[in-house]
Every structure is written in C-alpha cells, then in structure tokens.
Structure 1
Amino acid sequence: MQYKLSRRELLKASLGITATAFAGDLLHGAVAAEEAPGLHEASFYEKLESNTVRCSLCPWRCVVPPGGRGKCRVRENRNGTYYTLVYGYPCAIHNDPIEKKPFAHVYPGSMTFSLATVGCNFVCKFCQNWEISQKRPEEINVPYIKPADIIKMAKEAQPKPRTVAFTYSEPTIFYEYMADCARAAKDAGLGALMISNGFIAEKPLKELCKVMTAIKVDLKAFTKKFYEEICEGQLEPVLNTLKCLKDSGVWFEIVVLIIPTLNDGADEIKRMTEWI
C-alpha cells in the first residue's frame, strides 16, 4: 500500500515549493516547540483551574493537566494553553484514486491529493495504517508545510486531482490544519474531503461541514462491544455524527469494513441497515 512517505521523498516532493520546509532547524522536533512554525493553539477547549484544560474536539473530552496530552497524543497542555503539535507536519502524502478512500459517488474516476499527520483518537486492532496513526509527533521527523504549499503541491500533482483528502490516520486530531487546508483548497478550485472514524464532537463537526465537499465515515460495527474491545472507542458518538451529517446537508458516505466473526453477524447487519 502506498501511503507512507519517507523524509527523503517528502523533501523531494516539496522541492521548490517553500524554502522554509527544508531548513534543517525547522524540522519537527529539531527546535523548541514554542519556536516551531507549526505550533498552533488548539481549537475547542476550555481552561480549568490550576492550568488544567478540557478538550472539546472529540467525545473523549480529555481533561489534561499541565505537561500532559490528550488520548490522541498530538495535543498538549503547556501552562494552561492547549496546543496542537501536528499543524503543518504531514507524514504521509500521496495522489490517490478517489475510490481508494473509498468514495463511490464523489467525482468517480478522479484523483485526490491525500495527506495525514500522525495520531488518532481510536486504537483499532485492525488498523492498516497503525505505523502513523499510533505514533507520537516526536517519533517522526518531517518538514513543516503550510496549507498554501500543500495546495500548490496538489495543483502540480499528476494526474491532476480534483480534491484534497484528509485521510490515512484520523483527521479530527489534526483539525486546525485540515480546516485551513480545506479553505485554501476551495479558494484554489479544489474540493475538500474528510475520511473519518466519525468520533468528533458536534460543534467542531458543524464548523467543518462549512468547508468540506464530502465526508466519509467508517462505521466499524454496530455493537458497543466491538467499539470498546476492538477499537478502544464508543459507538454512540459515531451514530450521533451520522445524524448530524444528515441534518447538515453536506454529502456523506458510510463505509463498513466487514471482519469475519467480529462484525458480520446477520442480526447485527440487519440492525445496522435498518438504523441507516
């Protein structure tokens, strides 16, 4: 599967787009985080007592003490301010057929310029991209690439893509970067796609729907047991996301990966299809 981009390949792919991306002292982890160009204050959190914060980006609603991180491992509390550590640091970039996402009814036959950072708010035992989804930001050294340069790369890619896709890991955890890239994509005449596990809070989801062309949600099963034991997640918030998407009017598709003996029971499939 071609989803990983080595540091050498990423540098080569980005050559000529931005000098900043190649300055050795700007590589992620090479400078103090406060000086890194990609350090952004996180959206959707509240400050509590004693410099503690509560994240409101996803349903985990992590309460994070100073110096701590959320369950996603990519958001950190620094003296009472919550930061995303992955803004501008994609670790995987590839120009894919849109059916690989997979979307069945969004620009069939087209290409989509796809990217991801490390991190996820689930721990799925069957994850095919675990090498990036379960990493911490400091475990992968990649150059900083601002949203405008991502879009420039997309516009120069061959075959020409019609969209930019946020995929491979869980885009919710790089929400700020995704949203800014999506806005830049639309300004450049490209669509914006999110490929997600659906584990996102309602308020950030509604904001995201304003800039997304389409969203694909992986409905991993239809039992609480599967979500809790196989994904270390929860089913109900994902169902709430699907209801919210239906009400939002944004185009969305649901994909179910059938895993024999785990989520393929006839009764489960029947209940799922009736709910949908």
Structure 2
Amino acid sequence: MATLKEVLDRNIREGELYEKLDRGFVRCFACGHCCRIPPGQVGVCKVRFNEGGELFVPWGYVGGVQCDPIEKKPFAHAFPGGLAYSFGMMGCDLHCSYCQNWVTSQALRDPSAIAAPLRATPEGLVREAMRLGARAIVSTYNEPLITSEWAVAVFKEARAAGLATGFVSNGNGTPQVLEYLCPWIDLYKVDLKSFDDRHYRQLGGRLEPILDSIRMIHRLGFWLEIVTLTIQGFNDSDDELTRLADYLVSVSPDIPWHVTAFHKDYKMTDPADTSAET
C-alpha cells in the first residue's frame, strides 16, 4: 500500500510562486518562510518540493470538504446566514500544538496525522457547492497559502459560477502570494495567534510577516476578519491583548475581531479551557 507521501507526490503540478536560483535551488514565495529549497528536498510545509530545479506543489485532491454556516469560518460580517462550502488539502507552515485541524494540517509532519486524500477537480467542487446552496467557497482546514495555486484554480471556477471566495489562514504570507491571490479572493480570515514574537516562534513562525500581511490584505481590498484564540498563560494577558487590539485599530477600526475560547486539543492538554470571564 502506498504511503501518504507517495499518494500526495502523485497529485502535483509545477508551482507558480517561486523563483529559480543557482545550483538547482528554488525560492518559494507561498508563505512567510520563503524557503530556499535544494534539489530533492521539501519546504517547511512538507508539501512543496524541489524536483530537478523546479518547484512542485499540491494539485487535484482535497483532504476534506464540508458545507457549513459561514459564521463557523468565522466570517460574521459577510453573507450572514449563508452557507460556505469548505475544502482543504494537506500540510501547514506552522506546527501549533493546539491545532483543531491537525489531522490534515500536520500530515507528513506527525505520523499520527493520517487523512485519506480524495481526488477532486475545480469544476466538481464548484458543482457540489452550488448543489448544496452555498454562497461562498472557502479554502481552509490546512494552511491555504501553501496550496494557493490549487485554490486559485478552484476560485476561478467559483467566480464564474457566481460564488464568493475566501481563505481561512494563519496570515503568514508574502507580497508575492497576496498579489497572486488578490484577483480571486473576496474574504480573508487571519488567525492572529499572539502579539509576541516569542510565542510565534514556539509555533514555528514569526510575528512580523503576519502583521505585514494583515496590513497588505487590508490595503489590497480583501474583506478581512481577524480571530484570536485566547489561551491561558500563552496570549491572554491584558497587556498583550491590548497591544494586539491597538495594532488592529492602527490598520483599521472597522476590522471585525473575533476573540475565541481555547479548548484542549491535539497535543495541548494543558492549560484549562478558556473561561467566559477571560
């Protein structure tokens, strides 16, 4: 039986978000890591890889699909009461120990994260979204930035069918990927996980690229909403949340900010679930 990696390696195509470097290396621009990938190696996301001096990326499958109220994304200020048809792939550029979608996001990084990919086409996904009465189609579950080429292919079909499109993302972007996505995305939700760079480094990232991306997402005209999952002892201090709020206001006081409650999941079985008092 083929391994998950072998299956995913058959569902690929050459990417668009990269440049070729000397000695067969490539530079990927799908996320804020901007991986410099040698021949035969993968990026930090585990799903974008260099083969023969070309960058290959995920294509032609989904790791999960679901049609839900759009408020679950959460987009509370876009098409209220409408349905969002959600799809995702595999992999992530971060490794959050409390990830609620770890079965798909941590595939190829955690041997316990096993989800069976399903072959898919952009046309088929859009037909199913229309059949279910969805108002929007959203890339989520894994980190959509690292599968941007596939998302754009789906969103082109969705736009032609009259659907809105969206990303549910950690926001660890680059100017290149956001410019690439801009013509094809209406809604963009960013998980702003902390306002402390030390905390972001625990998750496998840095704060600065996320803050830069939020400003650029707003400037480019996406409908932007922010979510912060509050975790006791990690990001719930009055000082940190106040600085985070001040930053959002500096971008625009009109950005909706969802402050949500942590519950034990994946590897984080401590601390306690976030209380309503927080």
Counterparts of 1:110 and 1:169, CA distance in 2 = 22
Identity of aligned residues (%): 36
Pairs within 5 Å for 1:24-43: 29=6, 36=10, 38-43=11-16
Q: What is the TM-score of this pair, normalised by structure 1?
A: 0.83
Residue of 206, 209, 217 corresponding to 1:237? 209
Partner residue, 2:18: 45
- Structure 2: stretches of 5+ with no match in the other structure: 249-278
Residue of 177, 180, 183 corresponding to 2:150? 177
Residue of 214, 239, 254 corresponding to 2:187? 214
Partner residue, 2:53: 80
Deviations 1:89-135 (A, max 9, x none): 10110111111111110111111100100100111111111111010
Q: Are the counterparts in 2 of residues 122 and 232 from structure 1 also a CA contact under 8 Å?
A: yes
User: 1:29 Cα shift?
Assistant: 3.9
Q: What is the TM-score of this pair, normalised by structure 2?
A: 0.83
Q: Is the deviation greater in 134-143 or in 197-206?
A: 134-143
- Structure 1: stretches of 5+ with no match in the other structure: 1-24
Q: Are the counterparts in 1 of residues 145 and 177 from structure 2 also a CA contact under 8 Å?
A: no
Q: Is the deviation greater in 178-187 or in 132-141?
A: 132-141
Whether 2:117 is the aligned partner of 1:145: answer: no
Count of aligned positions: 243
Counterparts of 2:28 and 2:166, CA distance in 1 = 24
User: 1:136 Cα shift?
Assistant: 2.7
Cα pair distance change 1:141/1:131, threshold 3 Å: closer
User: 1:246 Cα shift?
Assistant: 1.7
Counterparts of 2:59 and 2:33, CA distance in 1 = 21
Q: Please tell me the residue identity of whatever aligns with 1:43.
A: E
Counterparts of 1:218 and 1:30, CA distance in 2 = 30
SS of alignment partner, residue 227 of structure 1: helix
SS of alignment partner, residue 66 of structure 2: strand
Cα pair distance change 1:267/1:141, threshold 3 Å: closer
Q: Are the counterparts in 2 of residues 120 and 134 from structure 1 also a CA contact under 8 Å?
A: yes
Counterparts of 2:148 and 2:107, CA distance in 1 = 17
Counterparts of 1:265 and 1:140, CA distance in 2 = 36
Q: Please tell me the residue identity of whatever aligns with 1:244.
A: M
